[in-house]
């Protein structure tokens, strides 16, 4: 099995930056790191540690990230504290835009629930 790290393309970075700007009405500083993470690389039965590229950002108390595990395989996560972490029900996406959109939607729904208002 290859240990190749798949870097984000310029197009993928642009898609994420645009989604963040549209969501927050301002530019959000993103950072890119390579990490070794225990993630389900290809299927749910494979819990090996793999190297992957991650875009992460922090905004209004939440830290969000998009991992690129292999070519055309992205996964969103967000958290407030180490004990308050969240993943989408569907945690693998073929497009960076779909991935960041799902993560932002999930985070927005969580914020709405925390505020005690209903989601329509």
Structure tokens belonging to residue 89: 């029900």
pLDDT tier, 1 (very low <50, low <70, confident <90, very high otherwise): very low
Confidence grade of residue 12 (pLDDT, cut at 50, 70, 90): very high
pLDDT band at 3 (very low <50, low <70, confident <90, very high): low
Residue whose C-alpha is closest to residue 91's, from 41, 36, 34: 41
Lowest mean pLDDT among 3-7, 11-15, 65-69: 3-7
Q: For the segment 71-110, what is each residue's pLDDT rounded down to a tens digit?
A: 888 988 888 887 777 776 677 899 999 999 988 888 888 7
């Amino acid at each position: 099995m290859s240990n190749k790290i798949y870097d984000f393309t310029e197009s993928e970075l642009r898609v994420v930056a645009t989604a963040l700007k549209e969501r927050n009405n301002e530019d959000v500083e993103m950072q890119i790191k390579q990490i070794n993470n225990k993630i389900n690389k290809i299927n749910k039965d494979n819990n090996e540690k793999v190297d992957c590229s991650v875009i992460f950002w922090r905004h209004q108390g939440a830290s969000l990230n998009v991992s690129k595990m292999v070519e055309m395989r992205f996964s969103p996560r967000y958290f407030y504290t180490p004990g308050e972490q969240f993943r989408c029900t569907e945690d693998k996406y073929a497009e960076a835009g779909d991935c960041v959109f799902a993560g932002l939607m999930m985070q927005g729904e969580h914020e709405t629930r925390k505020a005690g208002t209903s989601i329509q």
